Structure 1
Amino acid sequence: MANDRTITMQLRQMLSNIENEELSNSFQKVREQQNRVEKKTWLIILVGGFALVTIIFFLVNILRDITKSQHYRKSLEEAKAYTELLLRSKEQFMLSLTHDLKSPLSSIIGFTGIMQDEAGVSPQHQKYLQNISVSSAHILNLINSLLDLARLQTGKLTIDCIPFSLKPLMDDIVEGFRPQAIAKNIDLQFQFNLPPTVVYVSDPMRITQVLSNLISNAFKFTETGKISIIVSAIKSFEKTDQVKIEVIDTGIGISEENTRLIFEEFARVASTRQYEGTGLGLTITQKLIHLLKGTINIISEVGKGSHFIIVLPLEKGEQLAVVTPKITVDQSKEAKAEIIGKKVWLIDDDETLLEMTSAILNSAGMEVHAFSDPETAIRSFEKGCANLLITDIQMPVINGFEVLKQILIKNEGHIAAIAISGSNMEEKEFAGFSAFIKKPFQPQALIQAISGQLKIATIIDQKESSGYSRHNGYNLRQFAAFAEGDPEILTQILVSFIKTGKQNALLFRQFLHAESDHELSELSHKMLSLFRQLEANDLVVLLSQLEHKDFASLHHKEFYLCGKMAIEQIDELLQTIQKEENIHID
């Protein structure tokens, strides 16, 4: 028994030791596990804290970048608005300044011209008058250059697309420089390597401006030798020709490093500083060529001359017997003979310009009724009392457009009218006037314009007596002027106009149905020139609205309402012209 108890106690002791050892091991493992958990917990806390700090850091930087971006955008918007304001202010300043300069310059040029034409002026005084005339012309060129540059910088100068014959245009440009070539004893050569009857669709006025600038430069820097103008086609496609026009001179030339500078604004090469100029001619030329979607390059060598190469993509037009109206200097006496005894209603609020213009017209033998107050001029006007209306546009109480409107009412809708303006409006903006003359002008230019308009009025009057329609919202006098009164040429022009009009009307209807804003605006702009020439004033107003792309996006419903009204008027107008002018389309 005693042994059994001893064994039992020993077993209990052993079990107790084993149990204690197991408990001790378990506690040890628990403590180790807790240590590992604590370490991992701290690691997680540290990693989480670092991640949180990193996220906060990046969030702060992102927010700061967004704030900076918004600040920069706001600053840019403010800078853009300020720049646009400066450009508008600059443009307004230029318009006001040039208009104010043109009025006194008109008086100087006009009175100088009158004095030069008078008998008994001594050679010495003639020399003084010639110097005044040359200086006035230089100031006028400077004013026009600044205006063109301002328009180009603000995007206000646009390109018109009208059909024209390139050969007569080039002849006029080149022959205009013939007296200068004779005076400087320079051989002026001209080659036209295209069919003489070729017709293109572009802006002949801008092409004339570009080439006049380049040829004028050639004469300025060429003392001896020759100047060559060469016209050719380098590539011909189905609808366009790549026309190359070269102006080559044997002048002083330009070094290769300076050829990069000559197209910059107001830049003048050191070797040319002895010659007059502002450094704007080639800048304007390059910008105009880019507007015409062309290119200009120069090859030059000092002492040997310069070679300017222009490439213009010109759209092909229909081969018509196009006649370009032309009154040369040699015809001035004939022009004066045609206007002797004609009655003119002259209106200008500037007393000096009124006196000067009256003197020019009186010396030409015209019967002048001059008014400085447009209201008095309108009240005094009676049907048939004048053959011609000449009026200033910008007048304080009633402008020239309102004067024309009131005179037309009194004269039953017909009078030849010439606008005189020192403003910078384009020719197409003088709707309703037969012609316009920009101040300042030469007396001869005024006489030639009057003679041309009285010829047109005679043609129209003759046509009206045999059923020539000037009603139903259109007027053919500008087309008649272009045809110089030739009925066959006028008919050809009208056939071409109606064919083109119907093609455009079909496209217009398609774009209108598809709601193609951009294409409709582009087509409206393309159609505007011819309808302006046709003096379809109601339709011109609608197309002028449609050519503005912003109008479509801002006033979508009104845009397409204008479009529907326009296509109805186009269809009606084409039908009316075809019927009333007895035009047969094959």
Structure 2
Amino acid sequence: MLTNLFDHTIAKPLRNIPLQAVVIVPFVLQITAAVGLVGYLSFRNGQQAVNDLASQLQSETSTRIQAEIADYLKVPQLVNQINVDNLNREQWSWQDIKSQERQTWHMLRLFYPAVNAVTITTDRATLRGSEHYEQALVSAVDGRGDSLRLYVPDDRGNKTELIKFVQNYDVTSRPLYALARQAGQSVWILFPHIATKQLLLCFSQPVYDRDKKLVGVVSAFRSLAAMSQFLNSFQVSATGEMFVIERSGLLVANSTSEKPFTVDSNGKEQRLKASESSNPLIRQTAQYLDTRVGGLTGINGTQQLDFTIDRERQFVQITPLQDDKGLDWLVVVVVPEKDFMGQINANTRTTILLCLIALGVATGFGILTAQWVTRPILRLNQAAKDIAKGDWNDGVELDRNDELGQLALSFNQMAEQLQESFATLEQRVSDRTADLAESNQQLEQAKEKAEVANQAKSSFIANMSHELRTPLNAILGFAQLMTRSKTLSTEHRESVSIITRSGEHLLTLINNILDLSKIEAGKTTLNPKRFDLYRLLSDVEDMFRLKAEDKRLQLLFEYLPNLPPYIQTDEVKLRQVLINLISNAIKFTDEGGVALKVMAINPPELPTSQPLTLHFEIEDSGAGIAAEELDKLFEAFAQTQTGKNAQEGTGLGLPISRKFVQLMGGEMTVSSQVGYGTVVKFDIQAIAVEAVDEERVQLQRQIIALEPDQPRYRILIVDDKDINRQILIKLLTPLGFDLKEAENGQEAIAIWQQWQPHLIWMDMRMPVLNGIEATQYIKAQANGNSTKIIALTASSLEEERSAILAVGCDDFMRKPYRDYEILYAMEKHLGVRYVYEETDNLQHQPPQPSTIVQLQPSDLKVMSAEWLTEFHAAATTGREKRLIALIEQIPDQQSAMVKALNELVDNFEFDTLIELTQFLP
């Protein structure tokens, strides 16, 4: 078992590898694996050491910064405490302004530069203090009422010269007083000071009398510039940075020279966010912290993190700094990994170099060993190749007595025996070669003939389509024009109708022949589109309703409830298949009827792009087909005995239908019994869609003119056949269009340059200059796109549509065309508005899908369980009046459902009503 496992998992994949490689590769792999593992472990250990070192360094740095900040914050608190103690010893009082001025001046002289200002604010809206103003100048602060004055004090703190006067200065609204009063305890206040261009930290302490009544606030200010200087002087690493921020992300201090606030053009200070810092490392670190879960507000203890900037790892430590007086800062230390990885990377490069040297040495020894082992085997291999080429002269000489020497001896004996055998066969092969050469020549000639025939068939399709459709365009076109005439008598109108039906029948025969030719030439393609399946089935039903009634046959169309109303597949081919099959069924049925049943097999839920299978069954009660003739049904131009007896048809309907069904991903089967009828079944693949835009159908009312207040539309008709031009001229002239005509593309270009028509009906096949060349020229001009060009062609090849649209045509229309197709195309591309004839004739109105088949059981879930139970019971017993009464209880918003249910009741479709409600509660 182990031997078999080795053969399948290891030995078999190695059979195609050269023997030298098999010998050399293990040496190389062993050395590479050993050295690579050592290098990797060395790198990982070094990286772990760097992580530990960075962690320790960050912790020590954060501890030192915290200690420095703690010392930094002690001085303002000490100053306030001394002021309160001096107040208690009555060295100054709230009523004596002079004592307040002396006290603040003395404290500033004593503690500067540890504090930058000292103030005393009373509850009577007075402010006395001293501050370091404009570098070395010490000023006395006097705030009274709604103004502030700054004086130069003498050497005893008395006010002398007035240096600054500020109006509208309300002392009680300033943060140093208002925040302390609101908090009821000492608070820290951070704000930018524009005059000194520094960020100041104020420690304000409220003072109360024995009755717990606020009598004033003492404050001490300190600049945070010294904190930034400390951080700047502290070198954590070569490129590391440190900064202190508030929970809101605003910068307090940093290890760079960047100011923590800016002043805009209006003189208003703006605090700087760390995430907007000009220093890339500080900015990207702050942005990274903002993106973490909880952001800055979620940091409650010391955290060590890491992230990457431009694929370089960064170590980060965040330490909260808080007290009970409102101070809530974060100390951030960020150190790039590259500051520590220099030596480790150098060691890694050394390890890689050693690995390469070892690999080279191992490869050299492997090559020498492989040559010693494989040289005899290679000589045997070369000798075998020489024999394969027909060289029998040289044998293999090995001066060895080991296994390879014995193999060489056996090989030489085998070569002698093979030489004798090949000599015998050589003559036989020579005789057969001459026969094969003659056969190959015949095959090449047959291949060339087949290619020529295929090209001739494609050319035949194109020419036949053009030559047959062109006269049909004239027949059907003029018949439509005569139908629009108001002076045509009833007898003549019936004659024109006969001409139209005959032309349509002839067009169907031509299409069948051309479809078969395209199928055999491989020119048929699938053109899927979204469409209303119920409308298509209703159209087909209406198409054959009168024909069935004329033969007194019953025509039934049954749609199962799971049938999706909108699908995506080739609508034209599906319509043609149904028309062919139902036409055959009616044609060969004299009594009884024809039934079409449509269902979806396991339809998916919308929306989906998964295909579903649609199943169609066409059953008739006709003459039937003998079992021995079923195989002939799908042969082109072949007819069964029933078809011959009917003496009509070409034998093309079923073969074309089957090809179309196969193209749509399905298959067609036929079962029949003579005297009992025939059943044709087929499946196709389609995609269920939610909804589609309603496709334009034949106009319900005849167009008699253009609406007023529209441009005078200029239409150019280009066709080398005068009769084709006359059809369009006679159709469009009575409506009020300006028309011109041209016989070829060259004339069309000349008229276009002078007349600038809004739209051109362009025939594609013309002498002198064809429609494609004329269209390319017009569209290449600067104003060429302002003219819409619709191609007219009698070709039936689908690939010609893409080629014509690619040269610049705005639309594509095949001959023979219908009058409403021409008018709709002009409405679509030019926005033409028409005046319609007032008539009640709705014979051209497109049939609407039946509400019976659209109703689903889920639609009835809007009603209560009691209503559904009673409705199901009434449907089961056939109580029509009770059903109508229950339907009247349905809310007005469900008008569509009410209409559908009433229609089912009126048509006594109790089985359908039972099916709709039998699985509902």
Q: State if a TM-score over 0.5 links the two structures.
A: yes
Q: 2:823 aligns with which of 420, 428, 450?
A: 450
Any idea what the Cα deviations from partners look like across 1:197-243, whole Å, max 9, x if unmatched? 55544322222222222222223323444332221123457822221
Any idea what the Cα deviations from partners look like across 1:333-357, whole Å, max 9, x if unmatched? 1587679975422111111211233
* Separation (CA, whole Å) in 2 of partners of 1:161 and 1:213: 20
Does the 8 Å contact 2:462/2:797 carry over to 1?
no
Q: Residue type matched to 1:280 in 2?
A: L
Q: 1:394 aligns with which of 756, 759, 765?
A: 765
Q: Residue type matched to 2:693 in 1?
A: V
Q: Post-superposition shift, 1:261?
A: 0.7
Q: Post-superposition shift, 1:459?
A: 9.9
Any idea what the Cα deviations from partners look like across 1:150-175, whole Å, max 9, x if unmatched? 11112121223444443344334434
Q: 2:438 aligns with which of 67, 71, 78?
A: 71
SS where residue 145 of structure 1 aligns? helix
Q: 2:671 aligns with which of 299, 324, 327?
A: 299
Does the 8 Å contact 2:637/2:650 carry over to 1?
yes
State yes or no: 1:247 paired with 2:599.
no
Does the 8 Å contact 1:382/1:410 carry over to 2?
no
Change over 3 Å in CA distance of 1:290–1:64 after alignment to 2? farther
Q: Residue type matched to 1:260 in 2?
A: D
Q: Residue type matched to 2:702 in 1?
A: K
SS where residue 159 of structure 1 aligns? coil
Q: 1:377 aligns with which of 722, 744, 748?
A: 748
SS where residue 368 of structure 1 aligns? strand
Equivalent residue number for residue 575 of structure 1: none
* Separation (CA, whole Å) in 2 of partners of 1:179 and 1:210: 20
Change over 3 Å in CA distance of 1:195–1:302 after alignment to 2? same
Q: Residue type matched to 1:439 in 2?
A: K
Equivalent residue number for residue 141 of structure 1: 508
Any idea what the Cα deviations from partners look like across 1:12-42, whole Å, max 9, x if unmatched? xxxxxxxxxxxxxxxxxxxxxxxxxxxxxxx
* Separation (CA, whole Å) in 1 of partners of 2:550 and 2:442: 58
Equivalent residue number for residue 648 of structure 2: 276
State yes or no: 1:421 paired with 2:793.
yes
Does the 8 Å contact 1:248/1:307 carry over to 2?
yes
Change over 3 Å in CA distance of 1:194–1:388 after alignment to 2? farther
Change over 3 Å in CA distance of 1:360–1:304 after alignment to 2? farther
Does the 8 Å contact 2:477/2:819 carry over to 1?
no
Q: 1:156 aligns with which of 507, 523, 530?
A: 523
* Separation (CA, whole Å) in 2 of partners of 1:168 and 1:124: 33
Q: 1:347 aligns with which of 691, 700, 718?
A: 718
SS where residue 695 of structure 2 aligns? coil
State yes or no: 1:331 paired with 2:700.
yes
- Which structure ranks higher in relative contact order (CA pairs < 8 Å, sequence separation ≥ 6)? 1
Q: Post-superposition shift, 1:451?
A: 2.2
Equivalent residue number for residue 560 of structure 2: 193
Comparing both structures, which one devotes a greater share of its residues to helix?
Answer: 1
* Separation (CA, whole Å) in 2 of partners of 1:159 and 1:450: 28
State yes or no: 1:357 paired with 2:728.
yes
Change over 3 Å in CA distance of 1:353–1:65 after alignment to 2? same
Once the two structures are superposed, the pairs formed by residues 72-151 of structure 1 within 5 Å of their partners are 72-121=439-488, 125-126=492-493, 128-151=495-518
Does the 8 Å contact 1:392/1:400 carry over to 2?
yes
Any idea what the Cα deviations from partners look like across 1:345-384, whole Å, max 9, x if unmatched? 2111111211233223335554432222333333323699
Equivalent residue number for residue 105 of structure 2: none
Any idea what the Cα deviations from partners look like across 1:362-414, whole Å, max 9, x if unmatched? 35554432222333333323699645321211122333344445555475624
Change over 3 Å in CA distance of 1:322–1:153 after alignment to 2? same
Any idea what the Cα deviations from partners look like across 1:55-92, whole Å, max 9, x if unmatched? 66643333333433343233223212212212322332
Does the 8 Å contact 2:523/2:797 carry over to 1?
no
Change over 3 Å in CA distance of 1:229–1:82 after alignment to 2? same
* Separation (CA, whole Å) in 1 of partners of 2:562 and 2:595: 19
Does the 8 Å contact 1:248/1:306 carry over to 2?
yes
Paired residues in the alignment total 406
* Separation (CA, whole Å) in 2 of partners of 1:332 and 1:60: 87
Deviates more, 1:127-136 or 1:367-376: 127-136
Change over 3 Å in CA distance of 1:372–1:293 after alignment to 2? same
* Separation (CA, whole Å) in 2 of partners of 1:309 and 1:397: 52
* Separation (CA, whole Å) in 2 of partners of 1:211 and 1:116: 29
Change over 3 Å in CA distance of 1:410–1:447 after alignment to 2? farther
Change over 3 Å in CA distance of 1:374–1:54 after alignment to 2? closer
* Separation (CA, whole Å) in 2 of partners of 1:222 and 1:75: 51
Paired-residue identity, %: 27
SS where residue 700 of structure 2 aligns? helix
Does the 8 Å contact 1:252/1:303 carry over to 2?
yes
Equivalent residue number for residue 263 of structure 1: 634
Does the 8 Å contact 1:186/1:223 carry over to 2?
yes
Equivalent residue number for residue 166 of structure 2: none
- The gaps in structure 1 that reach 5 residues or longer are 1-50, 461-586
SS where residue 264 of structure 1 aligns? coil
* Separation (CA, whole Å) in 1 of partners of 2:501 and 2:428: 67
Change over 3 Å in CA distance of 1:161–1:440 after alignment to 2? closer
State yes or no: 1:289 paired with 2:661.
yes
Does the 8 Å contact 1:383/1:411 carry over to 2?
no
